[in-house]
Structure 1
Amino acid sequence: MIARSYPFGPVEGLDLHPTYAELRAEEPLARVKLPYGEEGWLLTRYDDVRLALSDPRFSLAQAAVRDTPRMGPTRIGAILTDLDPPDHTRLRRLLAHAFTVRRVEGLRATAQRVAGDLLDEMEKAGPPADLLTAFAIPLPGLMVCDLLGVPYDDRDHFQSLAEAFMSTTAMTDDEKLSKLGELAGYLAGLADQRRAHQEDDLISALVVAQEEGDRLTAEELVQLTVLLLGAGYDSTASHIVNSVHTLLTFPDQADLLRSQPELMPGAVEELLRWIPGQEIADILPRYALEDVELSGGTVRAGEPVLLAKPAANRDPRQFPDPDRFDVTRNAKGHLAFGHGPHHCIGAQLARMDVQVALTALLERFPDLRLEGDVKWRTGMAMRGPLALPVTW
């Protein structure tokens, strides 16, 4: 079988390339070739992607020792995403001691205050405004800094470091590794401070996290913090601005949320389902440890699979009329945060940030609308605009 060149090609805004729908209908197990690494299988159906996310017959740890399908010449992994159970289970359990629902919900009032302050500044400056730099980036940046215990004054510096974490081709490998090394050094110093003087933040909680006498090593703590900061900062900022763009593109849905704010939690799930957050499906290739039967055929032991979660979230077998954006839809079960052992541990924080951001924005600016053309960034793991010009 001749492998298709992947990614398939440029798309406009938050559209999905039409090839995904074609493959989902006709070739759900499609052979693809990325710019670097070996060929792999692209999964586009909901049931197949969900199974590969949770079935122990698919391994993330194998990717650390294989020539993985990827966009750049060098593979750069991360601690939680390079492990299978039981090693992954140990680290995730230790992290869960610090990343509790109580801790996240305790930040909601802070998020509401921060969102209000940012909108005050935006309103004072007057329209037009770039919603990305004025609101979508600083809100999750401030919240992640607050959660971890990173000083607010460092947020601009951390924005650039988070972009390095999420870069696929926008930076060279040397640039990316340099920025990640700088971030790791800073966080190691912060962890040393917390060992001497604990505070009410996540790094302090990670310093003391213990499970049956087992603690995080200094290196594990830094790597986990880098992962949480990078993924939680850039991906949430991207989702906030993409959500606003979507609501302004479908003003009837925005009006429905203004008139029925109780719909917001479900609307955020629908936004997570409908928006194709990931640019491509190469971030976390998994390797079959044995032959696995999927809807499109057999993946042989030792072969990698790439999971097209945005395509799976538009599978009509799971979500009727899937291309329609509907804030009243029951979108539970979407795969935006993954599924199974590697389900995003920061999902609740991201949900809370987006709920607070959209609620505050819709209440403050009932006449909010797009102002001018929107240009979209490329070479990053997450889709999103370079700027979102708005007026009111």
Structure 2
Amino acid sequence: MIEFLFLLLPVAWGHGLFMGRNSIKQKDQNAKDSLTVKYSTGLNYLLSNQQDKAMEYLLEALKVEDDTVEAHFAMANLFRRRGELDRALKVHEYLVRQPMLSDKEKQQAVFELGRDFYSAGLYDRAEKLFLKLLKSKMYGCKSLTYLLHIFQSTKDWDKGIALEKAVLKSKDKKLKHVLANFYCELANIAILQDEYIKELELLQNALTLDPKSSRANFLMAQVFENSEQFNNACRCYQEIFYQDQEFFPDVIDKMQQCYQRSDNNDDFYPFIKKVFDKTGSTTALIKYLEYVELTSSKEKAEEYILSALNRRPTIRGFKHFVKMQLNDGNDDKTNKSLDVIKELVAAYLKIKPRYSCKNCGFNSTVHYWSCPSCHDWEQLKPVRGLEGE
């Protein structure tokens, strides 16, 4: 009898193992079935616009199976795109609190939560989250970008400059460009306070970060003008031409004033001729016509502008040509007719945008260093073509 019982022990053990495995499989199957039910119910609520109930079921599903994390990220991003930031916040806050998330998923949850706060205008909360991610390989540069956006919106230029080491480490040219403009903003303040040494230091820092910053040289020229260093101011204006030919027409008048007060007055018109030959700028053309008329004759100037307009017609150039035709040699009727044409053209140009953003296409009649639409720096340039330069 005892021997028979010993023979049954392996059978009993095998039966117990079989039943145990079946029990575990059954539990797993029950959990998956529960997960499916929760998701199905949640999606049904979502489709029927009962979003609060939908979130309750969909969030509950995360407790059962951590493989649903990506689905929750997708759901939260959908809410954010639809402008339902309160729901996006709820999902991302829930994800941040989950202990089962990997480091990568946890960083993603923190970053997305920061984006939610940023979109909601809660900059202080967003700032704290993005600062936590600065050392992250995946989200460090992205967080740095958002931080600079925040400081630009709040005009906390010093806070942005405090991140200079992180910006330099990122080696991102766009971030350097943004930070250079932060230095320019501080330089503007220093100019108003007449702090000469500080102005130059700030602008030199801007040019070190972004050697192509025409704004930094524009402000540098202003600093030199204020201290009557007109030769240095002229040099800064020349640098702008090599940095940003599209923006250069805006500085021609200021440049001429500096040359007139410098030791190099004779160099101005040859330089403007070079600008016109290279860019075809209408502003440069009109300015150079002064020299042609002064050194040759009005007839030569008229021939020059007609030749230029035949090659590259612009309405501003035509307006100047009509202006040149107004003289004492005409009868009153002719002068009145020409004057009417000139005024009509001037009225037309007045309602047309003078500047256009290279990044987003925003149009404006006045210049901004930061585009009012996309907030990108130094992207508003004088319009080119028939109605512009």
TM-score, normalisation: structure 2: 0.24
Higher strand share: 1
* Higher RCO (C-alpha under 8 Å, 6+ residues apart): 1
TM score, norm. by length of structure 1:
0.24
Of structures 1 and 2, the larger Rg is shown by 2
